[in-house]
Structure 1
Amino acid sequence: MEFRKATVKDIDLLIELRKKQLVDEGLNPDSEIDTELYLFFKNKLNDGSLIQWLVEDHAEVVACGAIMFYEFPPSYINKSGKRAYIANMYTNDRYRGQGIATKLLNILVDEAKQTGISNILLVASKLGRPVYKKFGFQEANEWLEFNCV
């Protein structure tokens, strides 16, 4: 298996992987989001705020994972204000249970460490939660959510 960083040349592939991930998480693909995903990946890959990794087996992409970087105002517990968010974690069902997601998490955490980030967040699907907890992610009650729609 080959692990590699995605580039803007991979955007069409990233769009398809993201849509597979969303359906896998139980969301209904009842609207077209290709244009929005294209702009998101183009902008975030170009400005460096997203690093997306792909896992290939014989030229077929079988898994992916990403880390996004963003800043909050500095605080006493995070003087830089820099944080990271793990996103777009997806493994083809034929490849699950082989440790691929854990290898991706190690790579993504290393990306965060290289930029001096010590706080990484994620929202886990029911399927991904055991992987993240085994890796060392812990439940946190830090967030509240409001849906404006």
Structure 2
Amino acid sequence: MRYRKATINDVAQMMELRKRQLIDEGIEPSVNMDVELQAFFERKLSDRTLIQWLVEDQDEVVACGAVLFYEFPPSYTNKTGKKAYIANMFTDGNYRGRGIAKELLAKLVEEVRAAGISRIWLGASEMGRPIYRKFGFMESDEYMELDLAREAMK
């Protein structure tokens, strides 16, 4: 297995992995989001607010994980205001159970440390929760969400 950071040349693969991840999580592919995905990955890689790691077996990418960097207003519990969000964690079904996600997560956490950021958050699928818990992530009631698209349909 070869672990490496994604580059702008990997955007097409990153798009496909993201779509596979969403389908794997049970989300139906109801819209074509290729234009938006491409723009997102190109922009975030270019401005360095996203670091994505890829795992290759021979020439096939079999897993990935990313960290996005965000800046919030400073607070008493986070005086820099900087936070990191783990996203795009995906391992092909044929490669699960080999410690790949754990190794990816370790690399992402190290990226966050190297950036001098002390807060990491994520949204975990049911499949991912045990890995994150073992790594030390705690579940929190800190965030609430309003889905404006759903509100508009009422």
Q: TM-score, normalised by structure 1?
A: 0.99
Shift of 1:30: 1.2
2:71 alignment counterpart: 71
- Give the secondary structure class of the aligned counterpart of 2:22: helix
Shift of 1:131: 0.8
Shift of 1:59: 1.2
Query: 1:78, 1:126 → 2: CA distance?
Result: 28
State the Cα deviation string for residues 127-148 of structure 1 (Å, max 9, x = none). Answer: 1111111111110110000011
Q: How does 1:72-111 map to 2 (within 5 A)?
A: 72-111=72-111
Number of residue pairs matched by the alignment: 149
Shift of 1:4: 0.3
Give ranges in structure 2 of 5+ residues lacking alignment: 150-154
Q: How does 1:119-130 map to 2 (within 5 A)?
A: 119-130=119-130
State the Cα deviation string for residues 25-78 of structure 1 (Å, max 9, x = none). Answer: 000001100000000000000000000000001111010000000100001110
Query: 1:67, 1:36 → 2: CA distance?
Result: 18
Q: How does 1:1-149 map to 2 (within 5 A)?
A: 1-149=1-149
Q: Which amino acid aligns with 1:15?
A: M
Give ranges in structure 1 of 5+ residues lacking alignment: none
- Give the secondary structure class of the aligned counterpart of 2:148: coil
Aligned-residue Cα RMSD (Å) equals 0.5
Query: 1:98, 1:118 → 2: CA distance?
Result: 28
Percent of residue pairs identical: 58
- Give the secondary structure class of the aligned counterpart of 2:85: strand
Query: 2:88, 2:58 → 1: CA distance?
Result: 21
- Give the secondary structure class of the aligned counterpart of 1:139: coil
Q: TM-score, normalised by structure 2?
A: 0.96
Query: 2:135, 2:84 → 1: CA distance?
Result: 16
